[in-house]
């Protein structure tokens, strides 16, 4: 047992927390839309075909803003295909995921689902196979309030009032050779700037996200951000980050250092954005939309990639793609990634968990059957519910673990949030071998006259225990036994490979 010490002090404030940090991502991919959120024949389906059991789980998850409709899908998407009478909508081949898109669910239907789950819409425009004019058409259809050809069509399709979409993504992963309409940084930056300028002429209140690199491992990472921002700095509010993590070669200890990689990625992009600002002698600060992040077993141990099975003449509707099964270890790493986002909430103002249902998702469904929570569900739902108004640094002296990639990294990673009602502490023990006996000085919180209101622990002796169709409740969270406050000292014990949340009030 290792005895460590730290403190929680509201004066170590990082930033106020933008609730869009707890966003999600829904793409027309695999069984996410069809058989996931939309299954008209399901016993719980409502009149519009949406699964009520999934609606309740998404509400419990607590997602704020949901990015839609992609992802890679958006770079070949004609948004007009998803409006008007369903019987008149075309079936299209989706080149991104080698599938057939029926267009049963489009903008109006997805907004209706968002109304059910209580989330806001964040739209991505196609800058892959389309361009500025199509983006302006969609913006006018969605947001304009005066009578035009597009708003008359919107009314004919059942919506007189604008959708009022505030946040817009200018394409998706345009640095990636896999992306339809892939461009170099110069060409994309010019297109994004033209599109952004036009969108602001139509609706000055929009917030715009320009594409950053698809990952920090891309060969153009860094130079891409700099070039794109040199073209778009005055036109946009955010630059995107995308990053996925997985265990490689059974090395759980290295996997548990994933949060360090995310932190360095964020800090690198911030440095580049601020360098561009400095050269322009501008005090404007470009914020980060970390609009794709998750654990994703993208690369198999045999060297192949997940999701590359569909080829040839078979173009199925809603195939089973990217349906990763998450185990306890994944859930702990996932919780650490959330801590890292909160630690950078001064610049990460929006984030989208990719994705929500069936596709690398915290929620799984079976056609005609149940829906259940994966291990990653718990850290997200608890953090979204308990996170307060302001993020606070929590220095913890817990020693280090050794990472082959990052060297010595903190054994315990922690952050707190504070509000008028108290504080919440989020922690992870990254060690695969040692439990941690933690004592935190919290006298700066209400003079220490504060108690543990609720606590949650995600930990399994079997790191690879998972929730499945056969055992949907194999892994869950339980109270953190023994967590208590005495004389202004919070004492708690974190088992090896564990994530915890403690609410103080």
| Stretch 62-81: mean pLDDT | 98
Global pTM?
0.96
Per-residue pLDDT tens digits for 252-295: 999 999 999 999 999 999 999 999 999 999 999 999 999 999 99
| Stretch 35-61: mean pLDDT | 98
Q: Give the pLDDT band of residue 119 (cuts 50, 70, 90).
A: very high
* Residue 143 to residue 140: CA distance in whole angstroms: 5
pLDDT at 310 (0 to 100): 72
Measured CA to CA in angstroms, residue 299 lies from 149, 197, 248, 254 at distances of: 47, 38, 9, 16
pLDDT at 304 (0 to 100): 54
DSSP annotation string for 193-208: HHHHHHHHHH-TT-EE
Measured CA to CA in angstroms, residue 278 lies from 83, 126, 268, 271, 281 at distances of: 44, 31, 15, 10, 5
Residue spans of the domains in the chain: they are 2-9+393-504, 23-132+166-186+206-386
pLDDT at 4 (0 to 100): 65
pLDDT at 3 (0 to 100): 66
* Residue 172 to residue 153: CA distance in whole angstroms: 27
Asked whether the beta carbons of 62 and 381 are under 8 A apart, the reply is yes
| Stretch 310-325: mean pLDDT | 92
| Stretch 311-323: mean pLDDT | 92
Asked if residue 125 has pLDDT above 70, the reply is yes
Pseudo-torsion of CA 51, 52, 57, 59, nearest 10°?
Answer: 120
Element (H, E) at 137: helix 132-143
Token match 């919290």: residue? 442
* Residue 278 to residue 281: CA distance in whole angstroms: 5
What is the β-pairing status of strands 422-429 and 436-441? unpaired
Asked if residue 87 has pLDDT above 80, the reply is yes
What is the β-pairing status of strands 412-419 and 238-245? unpaired
Q: Give the pLDDT band of residue 299 (cuts 50, 70, 90).
A: confident
How many other CB atoms are there within 10 angstroms of residue 473's CB atom?
Answer: 9
**What's the DSSP call for residue 39?**
-
Asked whether the beta carbons of 430 and 409 are under 8 A apart, the reply is yes
The rounded percent of the chain whose pLDDT value lies above 90 is: 95
DSSP H helical ranges for 233-351: 252-255, 258-279, 328-343
How many residues are recorded in the chain?
Answer: 505
pLDDT at 51 (0 to 100): 98
Instruction: Tokens for 412, please give them.
Output: 């315990």
Instruction: Tokens for 502, please give them.
Output: 């403690």
Which strands make up the sheet holding 484-486, listed edge to edge?
Answer: 396-397, 2-7, 436-441, 489-494, 484-486
Catalytic residues: 173, 292
DSSP H helical ranges for 239-396: 252-255, 258-279, 328-343, 377-386
- CATH superfamily, domain 23-132+166-186+206-386, is Glycosidases (3.20.20.80)
The rounded radius of gyration (Å) of the Cα atoms in the chain is 23
Same fold, 2-9+393-504 and 23-132+166-186+206-386: no
- The CATH code of the domain at 2-9+393-504 is 2.60.40.1180
Pseudo-torsion of CA 393, 396, 397, 398, nearest 10°?
Answer: -140
Q: Phi first, then psi: what are they for 4, rounded to 5°?
A: -130, 170
Per-residue pLDDT tens digits for 319-367: 999 999 999 999 999 999 999 999 999 999 999 999 999 999 999 999 9
Asked if residue 464 has pLDDT above 60, the reply is yes
pLDDT at 42 (0 to 100): 98
**What's the DSSP call for residue 287?**
E
């Amino acid at each position: 047992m290792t005895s460590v010490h730290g403190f929680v002090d509201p004066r170590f404030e990082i930033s106020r927390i933008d609730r869009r940090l707890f966003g999600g991502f829904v793409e027309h991919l695999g069984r996410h839309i069809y058989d996931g959120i939309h299954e008209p024949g399901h016993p719980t389906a409502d009149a519009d075909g949406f699964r009520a059991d999934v609606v309740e789980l998404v509400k419990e998850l607590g997602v704020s803003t949901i990015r839609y409709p992609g992802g890679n899908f958006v770079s070949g998407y004609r948004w007009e295909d998803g409006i008007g009478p369903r019987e008149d909508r075309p079936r299209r081949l989706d080149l991104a995921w080698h599938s057939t898109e029926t267009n049963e669910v489009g903008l109006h239907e997805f907004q209706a689902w968002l109304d059910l789950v209580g989330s806001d819409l964040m739209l991505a425009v196609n800058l892959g196979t389309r361009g500025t004019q199509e983006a302006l058409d969609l913006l006018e259809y969605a947001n304009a309030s005066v009578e035009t050809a597009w708003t008359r069509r919107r009314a004919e399709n059942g919506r007189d009032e604008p959708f009022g979409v505030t946040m817009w993504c200018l394409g998706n992963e345009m640095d990636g050779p896999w992306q339809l309409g892939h461009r170099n940084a110069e060409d994309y930056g010019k297109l994004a700037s033209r599109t952004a300028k036009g969108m602001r002429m139509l609706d000055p209140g929009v917030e715009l996200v320009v594409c950053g690199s698809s990952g920090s491992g891309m060969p153009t990472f860094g130079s891409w951000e700099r070039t794109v921002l040199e073209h778009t700095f005055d036109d946009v509010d955010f630059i995107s980050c995308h990053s996925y993590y997985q265990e490689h070669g059974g090395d759980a200890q290295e996997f548990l250092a994933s949060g360090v990689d995310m932190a360095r990625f964020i800090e690198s992009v911030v440095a580049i954005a601020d360098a561009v600002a400095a050269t322009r002698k501008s005090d404007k600060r470009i914020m980060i939309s970390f609009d794709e992040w998750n654990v994703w077993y993208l690369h198999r141990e045999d060297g192949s990639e997940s999701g590359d099975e569909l080829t040839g003449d078979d173009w199925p509707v809603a195939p089973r793609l990217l349906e990763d099964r998450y185990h306890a270890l994944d859930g702990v790493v996932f919780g650490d990634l959330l801590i890292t986002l909160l630690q950078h909430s001064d610049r990460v103002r929006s984030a989208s968990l990719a994705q929500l249902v069936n596709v690398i998702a915290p929620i799984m469904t079976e056609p005609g059957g149940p829906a259940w929570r994966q291990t990653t569900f718990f850290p997200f739902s608890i953090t979204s519910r308990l996170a307060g108004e302001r993020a606070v640094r929590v220095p913890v002296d817990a020693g280090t673990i050794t990472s082959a990639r990052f060297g010595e990294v903190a054994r315990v990673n922690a952050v707190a949030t504070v509000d008028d009602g108290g504080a919440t502490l989020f922690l992870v023990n990254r060690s695969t071998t040692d439990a941690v006996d933690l004592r935190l000085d919290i006298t700066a919180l209400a003079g220490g006259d504060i108690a543990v209101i609720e606590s949650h622990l995600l930990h399994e002796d079997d790191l690879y225990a998972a929730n499945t169709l056969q055992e949907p409740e194999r892994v869950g969270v339980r109270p953190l036994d023994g967590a208590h406050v005495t004389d202004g000292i919070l004492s708690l014990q974190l088992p090896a490979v564990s994530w915890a949340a403690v609410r103080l009030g």
